[in-house]
Amino acid sequence: MTVKTRSYIYQHGTLGGLMQDLMDGTEKIGTLSNYGDFGLGTLEGSNGEVIFLDGVIYHADENGDINRLTGDELTPYAAVTNFESDEQFSLTDVSDELVKAAILEKISHNLFAAVKIEGIFKHMHVRVAPKQVKPYPRFVEIARNQPEFEADDISGTIVGFFTPGLFHGAAAAGFHLHFISDDRKFGGHVLDFELAEGKADLMELAEFRQHFPTENADYLENEIKLDEIAKDIEEAE
């Protein structure tokens, strides 16, 4: 796979910060659209799951509802890219583990990669983080009590990224995937799935552009506990 020299993932905030309760909204979610049309994230207070797809920003909330965002909503963490497929392959009657294994055979494990999977899913299992208010808990505590939703025979798109282990903490090492149905009525953070028929598109990325919440005192003054957040990400994601 040839990596486009100017391709990049742009990220505001870090998943590690979110894990450690840094959930204040520190950037308008619409600002991310200046850097990409494809991606994922959450809103202030770890409110739900955000999906960027074809330049439109969607939000799955804890009640299972999907809405389009205006762009003025605040986010503590989101990541996007301008998606252009470098490689596509078909998939039939496969589990999420087999899909991930197939992708890992095609990408470098030392590069970020954007992952798009479209098709008809025999089963889709997602979770949606419920909105929190200050004082924020650690994210792993939220994840232990988050609402989960399941659907059968549903068509839609998985949007997400593969992160190299070297960058675990800034993002989640391995796969971080969100889903939205074609009818825009079902979605969330992917836990597992079975794909009946579909296709995967992959895009390896040449750059990782990290934007920090430079005006947020909690972020600037907080002591990030790396050993704890690594464990929390593994459990929560």
What's the confidence (pLDDT) of residue 233? 78
Q: Residue 237 above 90 pLDDT?
A: no
DSSP 44: T
Q: Residue 99 above 90 pLDDT?
A: yes
According to DSSP, the β-strands at 113-127 and 56-60 are unpaired
Q: Give the pair of three-digit tokens for residue 45.
A: 């207070």
Q: Residue 129 above 80 pLDDT?
A: yes
What's the confidence (pLDDT) of residue 164? 98
Is 0.85 surpassed by the pTM of this model? yes
pLDDT tens across 31-72, in order?
999 999 999 999 999 999 999 999 999 999 999 999 999 999
How many C-beta atoms surround the C-beta of residue 15 within 10 A? 28
CA dihedral 168, 68, 132, 35 (to 10 degrees): 30
How sure is the predictor about 5, in pLDDT bands with cuts at 50, 70 and 90?
confident
Q: CA distances (Å), 175 to each of 57, 115, 160, 205, 233, in order? A: 20, 9, 7, 14, 12
What's the confidence (pLDDT) of residue 224? 83
Instruction: Pick 8-236's CATH classification: 3.10.450.50, 1.10.3720.10, 3.30.1330.80, 3.40.228.10.
Output: 3.30.1330.80
Q: Residue 230 above 80 pLDDT?
A: no
Q: Give the pair of three-digit tokens for residue 89.
A: 């392959």
pLDDT tens across 131-172, in order?
999 999 989 899 888 999 999 999 999 999 999 999 999 999
CA nearest to 189, candidates 24, 25, 50: 50
Each domain of the chain, given as residue ranges in start order, spans: 8-236
What's the confidence (pLDDT) of residue 72? 99
Host H or E run for residue 143 = helix 139-143
